[in-house]
Chains A and B, each alone.
Chain A
Amino acid sequence: MGIDPDFRRDILDINIKGSLQFCYQCNRCTSECPVSNNTDKFYNPRQLMLDSLLGLKDKILEPEDTFHVFGCTVCDRCDEVCPGSLALTEVFYLLKNKLAQMGKAPASYIGQAKVIAENGKAIPMQSAIERRRTQMGLAAVPDFDLEEVKTVLKEAGFGERVKVDGGE
């Protein structure tokens, strides 16, 4: 559970406002957090910031249950109330990306990413909805270039970083 300097550097590189390292653990984030305040499970943005800034990679990424990271509902309230204007949610996105690369994102996250990667939409069109649109007098949703979307994802390195098929 030691300090991992590379991991710490990754975190500090999201130094959008140049102030990440000035977190003084005031706990305003956790007191504002709707998840921390409405569950008995462990999710604590203040602790997650402390562990991240210290570079405690294993403590964050090793546990099998990742609720201490993915419990975040991305409501952005912590970002808003932080007296140091730290970009907490950006740090948490990085942690989530790292867990996703390790195959440890919750199934619903990977499932959605797979649908987007294969269909270019988070919700593919169904014939029943097409009929309903017509009944409502709505035009068909314009066809988009799915091959182009797939090319963009490939060039962005999506498939190399994240496995969405038959993940653990």
Chain B
Amino acid sequence: MAAEATKNYVLFPGCTIGNRIPFLEASARAVFEKLGVTFEDAAFSCCPEPVGFQSVDKESWLALGARNLCIAEAAGKIVVSLCNGCTQTLKAVNHELQSSPESKAHVNEILAKVGKEFKGSTIVKHFVQTLIDDVGIANIKAAVVKPLTGLKVACHTGCHYSRPSEVMQWDDPMHPKYLRALVEALGAKAVDYDEEILCCGNGAAMADEDVSNKLNLRKYKSALKAGAECMAVVCPACFQQLDSKQPNINKAFGTDINLPVLYLTELMALAMGMSPTDINLKMHRVKTDPVTGKLGVKAEE
């Protein structure tokens, strides 16, 4: 990729990755660095979270999101997000303020109190978009030294990765294809399963844990039925829901699901020759040994 493009990104890790599960950030930074992309950092606040905070007070959500966009705008950088939720908030705030002069004027009145102004020139990308658009599948394939041959992966992009399509303007909202393409570029097999676009249940959990559990179980069963040996995700909220809560689901339903969940850059790191120790795979709630074992990767000490 062009040298100047590699210097033009600011990373938006988000609260969940940065402040709770930073091993996902570590694998992302390591993978992008191997691909020739480095990120600058900036003093962002919460994006703010689209499901909860927008539901409580949309006006505040808009203003706080606009403040973050102003910070990226002042730095003249493209925002690369590691989280579906942050991506959706930043794209949706951008979209609303760019398309509504009234909203923009109102938010700028608020931002003027802190010496900021939303102009609307910032580009926001999910990291999958950066991988596809700016790095390219060919360069990713070229970086693979330990192909994930034979590994059957159930791809789960999550909802806010590409919906609502009018705002997100990325991938097919109901039949997402780029995560599958990336997983296959690593040598793995993306399985077809019925519930590929089913929500992880994270949003529903805020109102009713039981509904959320049912969505999870349905998702796991569908993936397992298709022969999946692990799931690939691109969002920390989906990751936590599908990995961290898996034991709770088993307890709630008396099931015995054991389906490792890997963030895309973890799969990429393994395929690029990094070890499970390098990327702290031991931090997963659901053990990833079936995956690393199958790949013949040295187990973690």
A residues in contact (CB < 8 Å) with B: 34-35, 38-39, 41, 66-67, 70-77, 79-81, 87, 89, 93-94, 96-97, 100, 105-106, 108-110, 112-113, 116, 120-126, 129, 132-133, 136-139, 141-146, 148-149, 151-153, 155-158, 161-162
What total count of A-B pairs have CB within 8 Å? 197
A128 to chain B, nearest CB (A): 10
Asked if residues A97 and B164 are in contact (CB atoms below 8 Å), the reply is no
Asked if residues A80 and B46 are in contact (CB atoms below 8 Å), the reply is no
- In the complex the two chains form, what is the Cα distance from A89 to B109 in whole Å? 27
Asked if residues A152 and B52 are in contact (CB atoms below 8 Å), the reply is no
B residues in contact with A152, CB < 8 Å: 60, 63-64, 67, 110-111, 113-114
Asked if residues A136 and B26 are in contact (CB atoms below 8 Å), the reply is yes
Contact of B207 among A100, A106, A120, A156 (CB under 8 A): A106
Asked if residues A80 and B163 are in contact (CB atoms below 8 Å), the reply is yes
- In the complex the two chains form, what is the Cα distance from A128 to B48 in whole Å? 23
Residue of B whose beta carbon sits closest to that of A100: B56
Contact of B43 among A81, A97, A143, A153 (CB under 8 A): A143
A146 to chain B, nearest CB (A): 8
Residue of B whose beta carbon sits closest to that of A79: B164
Asked if residues B29 and A97 are in contact (CB atoms below 8 Å), the reply is no
Contact of A70 among B109, B110, B207 (CB under 8 A): B207
With A39-B210, A108-B207 given, is the CB distance from A138 to B67 under 8 Å?
A: no
- In the complex the two chains form, what is the Cα distance from A127 to B44 in whole Å? 19
A166 to chain B, nearest CB (A): 16
Residue of B whose beta carbon sits closest to that of A149: B45
Contact of B15 among A39, A121, A143, A157 (CB under 8 A): A121
With A67-B208, A143-B43 given, is the CB distance from A156 to B60 under 8 Å?
A: yes
Between A and B, 14 residue pairs with Cβ closer than 8 Å are A38-B214, A38-B215, A67-B207, A87-B164, A106-B207, A108-B52, A109-B52, A112-B53, A129-B19, A136-B26, A137-B26, A138-B26, A139-B41, A152-B113
- In the complex the two chains form, what is the Cα distance from A148 to B66 in whole Å? 13
B residues in contact with A41, CB < 8 Å: 208, 211
> Which of B123-131, B198-206, B223-231, B251-259 forms contacts with chain A?
B198-206
- In the complex the two chains form, what is the Cα distance from A133 to B207 in whole Å? 32
Asked if residues A126 and B19 are in contact (CB atoms below 8 Å), the reply is yes
Give the contacts of B39-63 with A (CB-CB under 8 A): 41-46, 48-60, 62-63
Known contacts A41-B208, A123-B15; 9 further A-B pairs (Cβ under 8 A): A35-B215, A71-B207, A74-B159, A75-B199, A89-B164, A96-B55, A113-B53, A123-B16, A162-B56
B residues in contact with A75, CB < 8 Å: 159, 163, 199, 203
- In the complex the two chains form, what is the Cα distance from A121 to B17 in whole Å? 12
With A34-B198, A73-B204, A100-B57 given, is the CB distance from A121 to B46 under 8 Å?
A: yes
With A76-B163, A138-B25 given, is the CB distance from A157 to B55 under 8 Å?
A: no
Contact of B56 among A38, A113, A125 (CB under 8 A): A113
B residues in contact with A109, CB < 8 Å: 52, 55-56, 206-207
A residues in contact with B55, CB < 8 Å: 70, 74, 93, 96-97, 100, 105, 109
Contact of B19 among A39, A124, A145 (CB under 8 A): A124
B residues in contact with A66, CB < 8 Å: 207
Query: Could you say which of B23, B114, B212 has the most chain A C-beta atoms within 10 Å of its C-beta?
Result: B114
Tell me if B121 is interfacial: C-beta within 8 Å of chain A: no
Asked if residues B114 and A73 are in contact (CB atoms below 8 Å), the reply is no
Interface mask (B17-35 → A, CB under 8 Å = 1, otherwise 0): 0111011011001000000
B residues in contact with A136, CB < 8 Å: 22-23, 26, 280
B126 to chain A, nearest CB (A): 15
Asked if residues A133 and B201 are in contact (CB atoms below 8 Å), the reply is no
A23 to chain B, nearest CB (A): 17
A residues in contact with B215, CB < 8 Å: 34-35, 38, 73
With A34-B198, A156-B63 given, is the CB distance from A142 to B43 under 8 Å?
A: yes
Asked if residues B16 and A122 are in contact (CB atoms below 8 Å), the reply is yes
A residues in contact with B109, CB < 8 Å: 155
B100 to chain A, nearest CB (A): 9
Interface mask (B107-124 → A, CB under 8 Å = 1, otherwise 0): 001110110000000000
